[in-house]
Structure 1
Amino acid sequence: MSFPAAKSLLLPQNAYSAFLFDMDGTILNSIAAAERVWGRWAAAQGLDVEAFLPTMHGKRGVDTITALNLPGVDPLVEAEKILRGEIEDVEGVVPIPGAVEFLSALPPERWAIVTSSPIDLAKRRLRAAGIPEPRHMVTAEDVTIGKPNPQGYILGSERLGARPSEVLVFEDVLAGIQAGEAAGADVVVITATHSHEIETGHPRIPGYLDVIPHVGEDGRLSVRLRA
């Protein structure tokens, strides 16, 4: 995969009270592991695996299964089975290049993860990728409706003591982008794991190798090009 030169990156131009990060595809890459587990499940259900897999990223498992409306399938039971499989299979889960350094440079009280993954899976994948657990994290158990509903990003903002309008959301998939938009936050799209470009008017960066977080004299956060 080829990335644009640093000078062509589209960076957020504002400064923020806090940063909120999606997890899978945004700070770590778990695509191979997730698609192995979900692919086996989809095949067992008689689904078109190739058509199904792109639809399950960025959402809670129970929401994905519920939306399929499969006869005789209990979404809660099946989501639990898939969760166990995902916790066991973290082969190939790696950080997005530069993500560990970028996160480590942020004040710990000023950023959080907002993920559609359940807490046990989130912790397992963070460990596998070598990313320390943040002080604040919103997971599937913390919301009643998952992305693209904005509930998670609103809650993440509250936990950091910020209004959503003062927050920058880092996302990689449409459901998460829509959740950030609906919360009233600014969004930057991470394209590191994209095989097809997402149509978006939001700023976008391929990863974190060419950018650094900046903390202003007023304490507000921004994203700048690495010198």
Structure 2
Amino acid sequence: MLFDVDGTLIDAVDNQRRVWATWAGRYGVDADEVHRVALRTRPWETFARVVPDQDPQECLAALHALEDEDVRSGVYGAFDGASELLGALPSGAWALVTSNYEHRVRGRFARTGLPVPEIIVDAAAVEEGKPSPVPYLRAAERLGARPEDCLVVEDAPSGVEAGLRAGMTVWGVNSATAVDGVHRHFTSLREAVPDILAFARRGGPSGPQG
């Protein structure tokens, strides 16, 4: 079982919006536009779009400082069902695959009381992030699992694309409409919990997807 973090297990939408709004204020650009771009692109691409005249390294350092402060002081919540789901999975059977950094993930999990798995594949662990399949393939390798036996649980198009390109089963959660390409769609994580646990018990996909 391979899980995305933000938007899948932890509700960080408001936190991300506040971080980007503060960042945008420092650079004198429109916060709403920055957030719209940031939702679709990685930080380097966001900087190139919204502040092309600024040093991207300085932009990234400012963003990281704001994100670290948010982990220390922000209010976070786990999606309904996350604690039950992760607590029911054997420790060596699941991993987190995130575009964020491990220290922030651990901080957020500590704030929400979620269990932390043995394996976290973060932005520092791979040279290519989502939508590249590399993060999910790295997680499967570290778990000793074949890609075709893995279930990816995601909320975002880039993560869904990454899981599909890795040759894995991909289920989407926490959205009113299905992300293109998902094998199954659930409007909430809570709705998906029984089926995710059933997938784990089977040890892989079984029956028709859709």
- TM tier, smaller: 0.7 to 0.9
Cα 1:123–1:151 shift into 2, 3 Å: same
Matches of residues 45-56 of structure 1 in structure 2 within 5 Å?
A: 45-56=27-38
Q: Which amino acid aligns with 1:127?
A: A
Of 85, 88, 92 in structure 1, the residue corresponding to residue 66 of structure 2 is: 85
What is the identity, as a one-letter code, of the residue corresponding to 2:117? Answer: P
Counterpart pick for 2:149 among 163, 166, 181: 166
Distance in 1 (alpha carbons) for counterparts of 2:45 and 2:153: 22
Q: Give, in angstroms, the shift of residue 60 of structure 1.
A: 4.8
SS at the partner of 1:169? strand
Pair 1:200-2:183 in alignment: no
Answering whether residue 81 of structure 2 is matched by residue 101 of structure 1, we say no
CA contact 1:180–1:186 (8 Å) conserved in 2: yes
Residue from 181, 191, 197 that aligns with 2:164: 181
* Residue identity opposite 2:180 in structure 1: T
Instruction: Number of aligned residue pairs: give it.
Output: 199
Conserved in 1, the CA contact under 8 Å of 2:157 and 2:179?
A: no
Shift of 1:112: 0.2
The separation in 1 between residues aligned to 2:2 and 2:168, in whole angstroms, is: 10
CA distance in 1, matches of 2:58, 2:95: 29
Report deviation, 1:154. 0.9
Once the two structures are superposed, residues 183-215 of structure 1 have per-residue CA deviations (whole angstroms, 9 ceiling, x without a partner) of 111110111xx4x63542421123343433134
Higher RCO (CA < 8 A, seq sep 6+): 1
Specify every segment of 5 or more residues in structure 1 that has no aligned partner in the other structure, as ranges: 1-18
CA RMSD of aligned residues (A): 2.3
Any idea what SS the aligned residue of 2:96 has?
Answer: strand
By how many angstroms is 1:161 displaced? 0.7
Please give the secondary structure, in 1, of the residue aligned with 2:171: strand
Query: 1:26·1:190 contact (CA, 8 Å) conserved in 2?
Result: yes
Higher helix proportion, which one? 2
Do the aligned residues in 2 keep the contact of 1:102 with 1:208 (CA within 8 Å)? no
Helix, strand or coil for the counterpart of 1:128? helix
Name the CA distance, whole Å, in 1 between partners of 2:41 and 2:170. 17
Q: Deviations over 1:53-77 (max 9, x none)?
A: 1332486534543x42733423233
Aligned with 1:52: secondary structure?
A: helix
C-alpha deviations, 1:147-204, integer Å up to 9, x for none?
111111111111111122221111101111111111111110111xx4x635424211
* Contact 1:59-1:147 at 8 Å conserved across structures: no
5+ residue gaps, structure 2: none
Tell me, in whole angstroms, the C-alpha distance in 2 between the residues paired with 1:118 and 1:24.
11
Percent identity between the two aligned chains: 33
SS at match of 2:153: strand
Deviations 1:63-95 (A, max 9, x none): 543x42733423233222212211212423110
Q: Match of 1:136? A: 119
- CA, structure 1 residues 114+151, in 2 after alignment: closer, same or farther (shift >3 Å)? same
- In 1, the alpha carbon distance for the partners of 2:181 and 2:130 equals 19
Distance 2:15 2:87 in 1: 25
